[in-house]
Structure 1
């Protein structure tokens, strides 16, 4: 039993979530939620392809999170109710299959867009770093002046220790 301190008022507990009560209600809620998630993932994919700002992508992610949590809970409740799943009408099962297929396709398209965007950003960063390193290594002297030695580049050494130096403070 939990101990309650009666000297100070206790915050009221959050009301129970309004989750569907039977398998048919859960299936209908899940179909509607999967369709909303599919649309949301399509919007997110389109935003990634447009190279929108990180603030917009963060907003889309925040909007997606509660839907994903409810999706996980409702789908778990439906999976554990095997008798209810077996008793669902064929039409509800067909709607579940169609919504699942749509969500899978939207998720795959979203993952592909994110993967391609990540690869493109890596290529861009590698190209810029390479150009900067080449510019530091090669200098072109002006006419009639002595050549300038190349500047140091900032790359990880290919051999030798890569640890930092420490100061010996013993006397």
Structure 2
């Protein structure tokens, strides 16, 4: 399945392009308008990069926090450091483990969150920002031939951006 995504400046342009696609015989269940008064990015299924970052952070935390505890405990045990004299010998190692777990939690938050925001959304973040700025997006789904026909038709409306995508084979 191929997708063609066109970003148009306003609602009038989007509706005119939608009508032109309808007149050209495109199956209207495969043509979608996103924007105020139409489908939202969430309804259409654009990935929310913040949600993606949270999921990535939680995933990393499930193994980095326990690993950090074990690493902190082991480091304290091997080096024989007496950093916290009030805790005693075993308590020192446990405190070292807790500090390692805190480090693992911070790593999952910073790395998982930053990577999730930076690469988790791909182009979806760009399209979400344009929708938030009041722009309208038309998405045409179809075969390679259909998306080429739609490209030629939509170019006459001078879209801000016109991008084709191919869905991964499942």
TM-score for the superposition, normalised by structure 2: 0.28
Larger radius of gyration: 1
Which structure features the higher share of strand residues?
Answer: 2
Q: TM-score normalized by structure 1?
A: 0.28
Structure showing greater relative contact order (alpha-carbon pairs closer than 8 Å, 6 or more residues apart)? 2
